């Protein structure tokens, strides 16, 4: 009996991860009813990660009220799994760019305080492993808002406490951890991070990411100066050269706080997810792995779910097929090792029509049937 693994990311705006797998399974079984099909819900560490892990591992969703990036009360949620031991938190729930309108976007003022509130709530509930996704932030505060919510104090030259936000990074002279939440030191911190940018400089948090968060050139220069000063303060606090840490510039410098102050491990989001669900064990003995997402292109191989799955399957000698709503061919895709790449929208339908749920479902079913009729490994 053929063991086939279906591990799709969501086709955003069209099919969820689970729906994509269900539709593909329907097509497979219509041609090969004896197939042994295993469906694995996945995400790449960004939006949808919390739901994917709860789907696979069980758990519950916690709803709380926190501060959004400009301090406005907002509802956020995170998940608790592993019998209450592990929290899955998406930074964007509290500190995301989509929580603000265009006029409110200003990384000098925005703060990660709400993310810290979510973490503190999880620690209060007994979680001692924190899995954190840090994509989609509206902030450039170096994670100082988050750390403030966890009890850290950042003070100026006169010893006055500073609110955690981008404009105050330049003023930080010292860091005080004497009133930090007692569970912080007990916790294990796993962070989904898909960038390697340093904290400051031409490739740092401000110059690379702040413009999309509302910063103009003058703001970017101020933020970069602040991040340099922040790195100096961290060095004085615990001797960590945070600039040397790959990914310290992620999420507006959130990576710096996580690694230098919380001793977190940063890893590609898809690897964090695959490790959490025991993916390597789940695919053992499989004949084929099928993965996919809305668009397959060069970015697929740079931290996206299908690229990570391809790598894991290749380590066990299992061929992998990718399915994309659309496929943007490039040399990297042709040579990366996918046994086959299938495009769902072969008819070239307008995007809004191709993304309709019923159309996408039918295209997914047909792709599965076509695969079994044309792919000789089966």
Q: Is the pLDDT of residue 241 over 90?
A: yes
| C-alpha pair distances (Å), 29 with each of 15, 19, 37, 118, 184 | 19, 15, 9, 43, 49
- Using 50, 70 and 90 to split pLDDT, how confident is the model at 46? confident
Each residue of 282-304: pLDDT tens digit? 999 999 999 999 999 888 888 88
Each residue of 10-30: pLDDT tens digit? 888 889 999 999 999 999 999
Is residue 103 exposed (0-12), middle (13-18) or buried (19+ Cβ within 10 Å)? exposed
User: pLDDT value at position 376?
Assistant: 64
- Using 50, 70 and 90 to split pLDDT, how confident is the model at 378? low
Residues 61/31, Cβ–Cβ less than 8 Å: no
The label of the residue with tokens 């790195």 reads: 231
The label of the residue with tokens 């009220």 reads: 65
From the list 18, 107, 102, 9, the residue with the least C-alpha distance to 303 is 9
Mean pLDDT score of the chain, rounded to an integer?
94
- Using 50, 70 and 90 to split pLDDT, how confident is the model at 346? confident
- Using 50, 70 and 90 to split pLDDT, how confident is the model at 329? confident
User: pLDDT value at position 377?
Assistant: 54
User: pLDDT value at position 8?
Assistant: 95
Residues 367/276, Cβ–Cβ less than 8 Å: no
Helix segments in the chain, DSSP class H: 17-31, 49-57, 92-95, 113-124, 144-149, 205-209, 217-238, 250-256, 269-276, 279-282, 305-315, 331-335, 351-354, 357-374
Three-state DSSP at 88 gives strand
Each residue of 95-112: pLDDT tens digit? 999 999 999 999 999 999
Residues in the chain: 378
Distance between CA atoms of residues 370 and 127, nearest Å: 46
- Using 50, 70 and 90 to split pLDDT, how confident is the model at 349? confident
Spell 64-76 as b/e; 16+ CB within 10 A means b. bebbbbbeeebeb
Tokens of 190: 């796993």
Tokens of 30: 């219509």
Average pLDDT over residues 261-279: 94
User: pLDDT value at position 1?
Assistant: 57
SS (H, E, C) 272-297: HHHHHCCHHHHCCCCCEEEEEEEEEC
User: pLDDT value at position 332?
Assistant: 84
- Residue 156: Cβ within 10 Å count: 14
Percent of the chain with pLDDT over 90: 81
User: pLDDT value at position 333?
Assistant: 85
């Amino acid at each position: 009996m053929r063991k086939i693994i279906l591990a799709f990311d969501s086709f955003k705006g069209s099919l969820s991860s689970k729906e994509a797998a269900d539709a593909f399974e329907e097509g497979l079984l219509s041609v090969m009813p004896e197939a042994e099909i295993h469906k694995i819900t996945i995400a790449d560490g960004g939006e949808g990660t919390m739901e994917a892990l709860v789907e696979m591992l069980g758990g519950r969703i916690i709803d709380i009220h926190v501060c959004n990036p400009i301090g406005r009360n907002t509802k956020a949620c995170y998940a608790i799994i592993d019998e209450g031991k592990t929290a899955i938190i998406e930074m964007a729930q509290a500190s995301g760019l989509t929580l603000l309108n265009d006029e409110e976007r200003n990384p000098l003022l925005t703060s990660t305080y709400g993310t810290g509130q979510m973490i503190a709530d999880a620690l209060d509930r007994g979680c001692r492993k924190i899995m954190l996704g840090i994509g989609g932030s509206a902030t450039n505060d170096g994670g100082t808002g988050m750390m403030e919510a966890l009890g850290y104090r950042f003070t100026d030259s006169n010893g006055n406490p500073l609110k955690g936000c981008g404009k105050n990074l330049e003023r930080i002279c010292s860091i005080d951890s004497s009133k930090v939440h007692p569970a912080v030191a007990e916790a294990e911190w796993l962070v989904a991070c898909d960038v390697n940018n340093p904290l400051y400089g031409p490739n740092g948090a401000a110059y690379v990411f702040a413009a999309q968060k509302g910063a103009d050139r003058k703001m970017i220069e101020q933020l970069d100066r602040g991040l340099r000063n922040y790195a100096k303060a961290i060095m004085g606090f615990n001797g960590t050269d945070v600039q040397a840490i790959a990914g310290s510039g992620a999420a507006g410098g959130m990576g710096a706080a996580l690694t230098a102050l919380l001793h977190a491990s940063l890893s590609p989001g898809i690897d964090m997810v695959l490790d959490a669900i025991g993916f390597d064990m789940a695919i053992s003995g499989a004949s084929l792995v099928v993965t996919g997402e809305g668009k397959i292109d060069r970015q697929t191989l740079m931290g996206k779910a299908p690229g990570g799955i391809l790598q894991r399957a290749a380590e066990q000698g299992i061929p992998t097929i990718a399915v994309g709503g659309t496929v943007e061919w490039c040399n990297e895709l042709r040579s990366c090792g996918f046994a086959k790449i299938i495009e769902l929208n072969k008819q070239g339908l307008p995007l809004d029509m191709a993304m309709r749920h019923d159309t996408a479902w039918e295209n997914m079913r047909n792709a599965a049937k076509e695969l079994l009729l044309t792919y000789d490994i089966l």
